[in-house]
Amino acid sequence: MLTSKNVSGGVDLLHDPTLNKGTAFTEEERDKLALRGLLPPRIFTGEEQSKRILENFHNKTNDLEKYIYMVALQDRNETLFYRTVIDNIEEIMPIIYTPVVGKACQLFGHIWRRPRGLYLTINDKGCIADVLRNWPMKKVGIIVVTDGERILGLGDLGANGMGIPIGKLALYTVCAGVHPSLCLPITIDVGTNNEELLKDPLYIGLLRNRIRGDEYDELIDEVVWAVQDVFPGALIQFEDFSNFNAFRLLRKYQKKVCTFNDDIQGTASVTLAGIYSALRITDQKLTDQKILFQGAGEAGVGIANLIVSAMEAEGMSHDKAKRQCWLVDSKGLVVKSRENLQNHKLAYAHDHELVPDLLSAVETLKPTILVGVSGQPQTFTQPIVEAVGEINEQPVIFALSNPTSKAECTAEQAYSWTNGRAIFASGSPFKPVTLDGKTYIPGQGNNAYVFPGVGLGAIECGTKHVTDEMFFAAAKALANEVTEDDLVSGCIYPPLTQIRDVSAVIAAAVAGVAYERGLATVERPDNLLEYMKSRQYEPNYESYV
Ligand code: NAD
């Protein structure tokens, strides 16, 4: 327990965000902890403090200011930050994560106030473990790491990408109840090829172009193994790496350490869950679907891979299942005859004539499901959406590119161009749409439905690896949480307000796989779901006296 003995003076306590309660310190605590006089005399409850936070939050004139305000709160009073976000998740999550975090990353050097997380750079090569030891926490459960090369759909933001690991780890706590002290955000600065940033006098990263090749691989390898040494068993989530590195790093480390890539595997899981829900509305089978992807990168190929596993689980052969998935990239349909295709696209390069663009691909292939993961805004044009609408009674249209400005189409466009027949989900949130008196609630295929629960499950059972089977189990668990009432309004994901319960269910499913496959290192509790719930951090003030 905290006592005046292990805090050197009251002011230190007020400046420690993990312990600070601000105006909520009681009379007794103020006396015992040398706080008397350092705070205004009136004592407020956490609830009253939250009201003040929300009032200030609402008074901010734009979303970036709201982001800055919430980060500042996280930096001074963690408990109040998490309490306020959890109790107002639908309003605040889009501010601390996508879409607003995208803007925050673009301007990270300009809005920078206080450091959070660890910056590892190419200049630290050879002493990464020493830098990791500078982190004040001795026990770390989850690390989110980026090299900043593909931040959301915004491209190379270099060290500014730090906003992403910070935001994602906040969601581990908000959505799944992973204790904040177990979370470590890391940005690996290997330079940036973003010339605008390099010219920006307030850019916070190394002023050099990206390193590539062996030097890069050696640095990443040193980071991965130094983590095993300094924080044994910690889960490493790779985030927003370029697809060239993401696929290879996943292959390289997936079976060696406890790691996953959310852009590839988390996206796949949340999208598959959305598809399962959509099929409950259309009353169709997964194996009868033909899925066309606009975008053949981490998200597109990751989703296709998981759909193939899901179709195989329903009895379809691997090769047949692959032929149900088709990808379009910037050069048109991915087909066998195309030269110089990147490795990760090869599995979906089917025997087919060249098709130059998405509209022709829709007309030729007649997909039942259209998934946008290209980072290219407004590429689901009216003729394309109408064409999918002509092929299907209830077309499934997912415009997943983030942030909102990159979405392939808006919710309103999807509904109005199909006369309200589309089953729509996006990556960033869209408001409900009313057409001819009927209101449609767009689904948000937000990875936050999946990765926090996967992380909670992984660390609580101490799994040695995170497997694709776990993401399949997570997708099924998430889909099972969608009620008939949700589906009636067209919503294919559970309300965000239920996310903590949903994450506990996913955590139990993931841990279940770990126990079944002999990967868990912690003794199995009797009731996995109850155990996961009991492990969730609740941001409530503790008494210090
Ligand atoms: P990526 O860079 O790995 O892949 C992008 C792909 O889009 C590449 O294959 C590229 O060739 C293709 N592309 C580029 N221009 C195109 C065009 N004009 N037409 C067709 N294809 C084109 O990126 P990624 O990780 O796959 O992410 C892509 C987008 O998906 C991003 O905007 C990201 O924010 C979004 N995303 C959303 C979610 C979610 O909502 N749950 C999850 C992950 C990624």
| The two structure tokens encoding residue 17 | 């965000």
97 is catalytic: yes
| The two structure tokens encoding residue 500 | 């903590």
What pLDDT is attached to residue 4? 43
In 310-395, DSSP assigns E strands to 325-329, 332-333, 369-372
Select which of 21, 168, 322, 345 is catalytic. Answer: 168
Reported as a single tens digit per residue, the pLDDT across 267-312 is: 999 999 999 999 999 999 999 999 999 999 999 999 999 999 999 9
Answer whether 0.85 is exceeded by the pTM. yes
Query: In whole angstroms, what is the distance from residue 444 CA to residue 426 CA?
Result: 5
The verdict on domain 100-257 having CATH code 3.40.50.10380 is yes
Q: Which residues of 265-302 are buried (b: 16+ CB within 10 A; e: fewer)?
A: bbbbbbbbbbbbbbbeebebebeebebbbbbbbbbbbb
Does 170 have pLDDT greater than 70? yes
531 is catalytic: no
- Altogether, the residues listed in the chain come to a count of 545
Residue with tokens 């509209």: 359
Q: Choose the residue to mutate in 402, 428, 449, 454 for probing ligand 1, maximizing ligand atoms within 8 Å of C-beta.
A: 402
Domains 100-257 and 265-448 share a fold: yes
User: Percent of the chain scored above 90 by pLDDT?
Assistant: 95
Average pLDDT over residues 526-540: 98
Average pLDDT over residues 332-353: 96
Reported as a single tens digit per residue, the pLDDT across 199-256 is: 999 999 999 999 999 999 999 999 999 999 999 999 999 999 999 999 999 999 999 9
What pLDDT is attached to residue 220? 98
Does 375 sit in the ligand 1 pocket, CB within 6 Å? yes
Average pLDDT over residues 117-145: 97
Does 2 have pLDDT greater than 80? no
What pLDDT is attached to residue 5? 47
Tell me: cis bond preceding 41? Omega within 30 of 0 counts: no
Does 266 sit in the ligand 1 pocket, CB within 6 Å? no
Q: Choose the residue to mutate in 103, 264, 329, 355 for probing ligand 1, maximizing ligand atoms within 8 Å of C-beta.
A: 329
**Looking at domain 4-96, which of 3.80.30.20, 1.20.1370.30, 1.10.3720.10, 3.40.50.970 is its CATH number?**
1.20.1370.30
Query: Strand, coil or helix: what is 507?
Result: helix
CB-CB contact of 82 with 180 (8 Å): yes
Cα→Cα distances 332→244, 329, 353, Å: 19, 5, 11
Select which of 67, 82, 97, 493 is catalytic. Answer: 97
In this structure, the number of other CB atoms found within 10 A of the CB of residue 227 comes to: 25
Beta-strand relationship, 433-435 and 438-440: antiparallel
pLDDT class for 6, splitting at 50, 70, 90?
A: low
Q: How much distance in Å is there from the Cα of 114 to the middle of ligand 1?
A: 31
Query: In whole angstroms, what is the distance from residue 97 CA to residue 146 CA?
Result: 15
The chain-wide mean pLDDT, for the chain, equals: 96
Reported as a single tens digit per residue, the pLDDT across 410-434 is: 999 999 999 999 999 999 889 999 9
pLDDT class for 1, splitting at 50, 70, 90?
A: low
What pLDDT is attached to residue 133? 98
What pLDDT is attached to residue 273? 98
Reported as a single tens digit per residue, the pLDDT across 482-507 is: 999 999 878 899 999 999 999 999 99
User: Percent of the chain scored above 70 by pLDDT?
Assistant: 98
In this structure, the number of other CB atoms found within 10 A of the CB of residue 256 comes to: 12
- State residue 405 phi and psi, 5-degree precision: -65, -15
Tell me the Ramachandran region of residue 189: left when phi exceeds 0, alpha when psi lies from -120 to 50, beta otherwise.
Answer: beta
Query: In whole angstroms, what is the distance from residue 156 CA to residue 149 CA?
Result: 4
Question: For the domain 265-448, what is the CATH superfamily, name and number?
Answer: NAD(P)-binding Rossmann-like Domain (3.40.50.720)
Average pLDDT over residues 391-398: 97
Query: In whole angstroms, what is the distance from residue 508 CA to residue 506 CA?
Result: 5
DSSP type of residue 426? E
Q: Choose the residue to mutate in 373, 381, 384, 405 for probing ligand 1, maximizing ligand atoms within 8 Å of C-beta.
A: 373
Measured in Å, how far apart are the chain's first and last C-alpha atoms? 8
Reported as a single tens digit per residue, the pLDDT across 89-116 is: 999 999 999 999 999 999 999 999 999 9
Does 329 sit in the ligand 1 pocket, CB within 6 Å? yes
Domain ranges of the chain: 4-96, 100-257, 265-448
Does 342 sit in the ligand 1 pocket, CB within 6 Å? no
Query: In whole angstroms, what is the distance from residue 8 CA to residue 15 CA?
Result: 11
Nearest alpha carbon, ligand 1 atom 16: 330
| The two structure tokens encoding residue 267 | 């996206």
Sorted by sequence, the CB contacts under 8 Å of residue 257 that are 6+ apart come out as: 224, 227, 228, 236, 465
Tell me the Ramachandran region of residue 9: left when phi exceeds 0, alpha when psi lies from -120 to 50, beta otherwise.
Answer: left
